[in-house]
Amino acid sequence: MLLLPSDTVADESGPMTRPSVPEADRLIGVRRPVLRHGYVVLVDYMGNDAAIVQAARVSYGRGTRSVRDDRGLIRYLLRHRHTTPFEMVEFKFLVRLPIYVARQWIRHRTASVNEYSARYSIVPDEYDLPDPDAVRQQSVTNRQGRGEPLPPEVVERFRSDLDRVARTAYAAYEKAIADGVARETARILLPVAYYTEWYWKTNLHNLFHFLALRLDAHAQEEIRAYAAEIAAVARAVAPVAMEAFEEFQVGGLELSRSELKALRGLLDGQTPADACRQAGLELTRADGTPRKSGEGVEFLAKLERIRTL
């Protein structure tokens, strides 16, 4: 049915209009540099803090406005994990990133992705070369991460090897293309340091999940750099929602049942070691050596975080 001007729909706040956030509008199309050749660009967005409130009030009814203000409602929704209203805000980004970062990023499956195709197009000669201070030892506490600094000669040898391998691989790639090898086959020659590009569209609820994992100190540094730029854009679009996210999800702590039991022991005057033992949170191995990881170690880290607030 044709919607005539006289038939336009209104809600309790008045005629419906497309939400616009001037600060976010100024970010559209602006490249936010990341790493050596990467960037994040806000292509478009839909909704803002008001869209979250509008969606929630469909469920909570008109009387909600008199009970709590918009900020309070958003914080209530996030605190109690009422996630659907946050899905009313969407973002579309253009992201240029190294393939090794992209392979981590794509694990977040609750998004729409369309990636640059090396089957159709020639891959540009752009690869990532980490700064010297980013090349460090394997962490002894985080099996996925890096830890202490390496000797300068080891760092320089790694960076020199990476630079040499990338250049050699791209020369072989160009030669294969010139010899008539199909692009979809020739691309196999290129290492994961080379860059790819994609459009990435997601809603705010799923963006929160991405940011909670990729802003965490345990995430790889390179993807954390991208997450920081994504978060900055999200703050411009939905500042109240981002404030609540940073309060409850980034800045908050979750405690398991065993951790709550250990916390009760601490309140009753037990030592951390005794409280953990009583709660079944192991701090030592069978041979008596201290654990470097595990639930008990993580609980003590949470306590230390509380102490330093």
Q: Residue 209 to residues 107, 110, 227: CA-CA distances in angstroms?
A: 12, 10, 11
Greatest CA separation for the chain = 79
- Taking alpha carbons only, the member of 241, 239, 281, 246 closest to residue 260 is 281
The verdict on whether 146 is a catalytic residue reads: no
In the set 62, 214, 291, 305, the catalytic residue is 214
What size, in residues, is the chain? 309
Measured distance CA(115)–CA(304) in Å, rounded: 42
HSE, CB side, 13 Å, CA atoms: give it for residue 109: 0
Residues acting as catalytic residues: 214
